[in-house]
Amino acid sequence: MTASNANGAARCLAALAMLSVAVTGAAARAAEAKPNVVLIVIDDLGWADLGCYGSKFHKTPHLDRLAAEGMRFTQAYAACPVCSPTRAAIMTGRYPQRMNITTWVPGHPDRPDHRLKQPEVNQKLPATELTIAEALKPRGYASASIGKWHLGGEGSSPTDHGFDVNVGGDQAGSPYSYFAPYTNKAGKSIPGLDEAPEGEYLTDRLATEAEKFIDAHRQQPFFLYLPHYAVHTPLKAKADMIARYGSMPSEPNGSQINPIYAAMMESMDAAVGRVLKKLEDAQLTEQTLVIFTSDNGGLANGNGQIIPPTSNAPLRDGKSHLYEGGIRVPLIVKWPGVVKPGSTCDQVVSSIDFFPTIVSACGAMADSSSPIDGLDLRPVLDATGSLPREAIYWHFPHYNGNAGAKPGAAIRAGDWKLIEFYETGRRELFNVAKDMRESNNLIEQNADVAKDLHARLAAWRESVGAKMPAPNPDYTPNPQQADGVIRIHSSTADVNGTMLRYEPLPNKDTLGFWVRQEDWASVDFTVTRPGKYHL
């Protein structure tokens, strides 16, 4: 080796040594970093409800700003089309089927007009499950759950699952009242809100409690879980805000036109803005990871309402359904120094991903004895890579009231999505990248794709111990009325073929898309008295 080469080699070795020190130092700093975490979950917020997601009716300036300062996800999904299972998935990073929480707690009871008996579900989050709060506690994090819990009451409240503070959380799925006093008919108060000035609005109060928690723990790392009761029914908002959106229309038109819901949205947005402002005032913005999302799709066809709370268009259907409107949700992440402001991400992510992302960001450890189904989102947040995700899954073996939802399951793998309906075994296949409206069932043209996806869905159900529905021995479809008439509603029809479907309120409330002669429908009904009948 020449002298010049030796000097060059020495310089390279020195540079490598300095690089090694720098990398080691960065790794050490990352291990020591303890970012604050604010996880905001809105109840029943639809994918298209925010201005930054295209809404022209709802006013959401603070969330639009959050999206401008962070990353907006276009293909984020809830783990379930209803609330409790998604909340269990958020807390644990695991599919809710592993915990046997597959519908909201306690769920709808079986009825004679249900063809299937629903499996029994856990009424609370099992004590054996590791939550985000429990995972962060060894790292010195203070934690608070402020708002809706819906994963059990006494013995399974947030403080039983690692949280230091619980304000507002118990077994309830909807608020006792949106205006103070926050009590139910039995006189029971929402936990921690026994004292409140008459007429105070619950969304505002939860923002106040969040601000108090941030002030009290600004000198230590904290995890603030802020699951608002809004914008869940019953629709209640401030009168002056409602008036700004006009009067309630008398006829549906399939768009976002509900002034009460819009007013609830505005209050929710302002409450989120207050929390973000508190972080700024406390000079904590730069060291805080903020995640904003929903627990399921917007309520677009539920409870038999002529004017539903919202519309998820262009997505199909809404809460309780396995179509995109029921499971695709808004997701915004702001993490200064990691997430590029104003960025968007079109990768498929799920609420099961929050646990591993937060735990990793905070340098915490998860219990390896329980499989974590979610993925750490860091590679897409800092734009260093993609997610090694093959598919995400849903299993909803339940009926859900007047929303018209029926038991089923779904898988999304790449651009393909397969939905299976348990009552009849019907399957539908969509390319959601090309057809986010799920208007073109491609199962006849792509039978091999459907077969593969169904096999993967069945294998996943087996792996997570999913409980299946069973035939209902008391099944009594469309029973005969006292006057002898049998009224058969289109929502009870079994559709056959590819395009025919039942279109729920607020659209037609009839069978529609009957554009193929090969498609047909059949209906079960019950006759208890003999005689001649006119159809």
Backbone angles phi, psi at 71, to 5 degrees: -120, 130
For residues 174 and 151, what is the distance between their CA atoms, to the nearest angstrom? 12
For residues 361 and 365, what is the distance between their CA atoms, to the nearest angstrom? 10
The torsion of the CA quartet 426, 432, 437, 439, rounded to 10 degrees, works out to -40
Please list the alpha-helical segments (H only) found in 70-186. Answer: 83-92, 132-136
For residues 135 and 37, what is the distance between their CA atoms, to the nearest angstrom? 13
Strand partners, 201: 179
For residues 443 and 449, what is the distance between their CA atoms, to the nearest angstrom? 8
3-state secondary structure of 74: strand
Backbone angles phi, psi at 376, to 5 degrees: -70, 120
For residues 353 and 373, what is the distance between their CA atoms, to the nearest angstrom? 8
For residues 218 and 223, what is the distance between their CA atoms, to the nearest angstrom? 11
Q: Is 414 left (phi over 0), alpha (psi -120 to 50) or beta?
A: left
Q: Which amino acid is at 74?
A: T
Which positions are annotated as active-site residues?
83, 150
For residues 37 and 123, what is the distance between their CA atoms, to the nearest angstrom? 28
For residues 111 and 127, what is the distance between their CA atoms, to the nearest angstrom? 31
Residue reference for tokens 């937060």: 358
For residues 264 and 273, what is the distance between their CA atoms, to the nearest angstrom? 14
Residue reference for tokens 């075994």: 425
Task: Kindly provide the residue ranges of all beta strands, DSSP E only, lying in 422-485, ordered along the sequence.
Answer: 427-431, 470-471
The 3-class SS string of 221-283 reads: CEEEEEECCCCCCCCCCCHHHHHHCCCCCCCCCCCCCCHHHHHHHHHHHHHHHHHHHHHHHCC
Q: Do 133 and 223 touch, CB atoms closer than 8 A? A: yes
Greatest distance between any 2 Cα atoms in the chain: 111
For residues 278 and 298, what is the distance between their CA atoms, to the nearest angstrom? 28
Angle between the 61-69 and 259-281 helix axes, to the nearest 10 degrees? 50
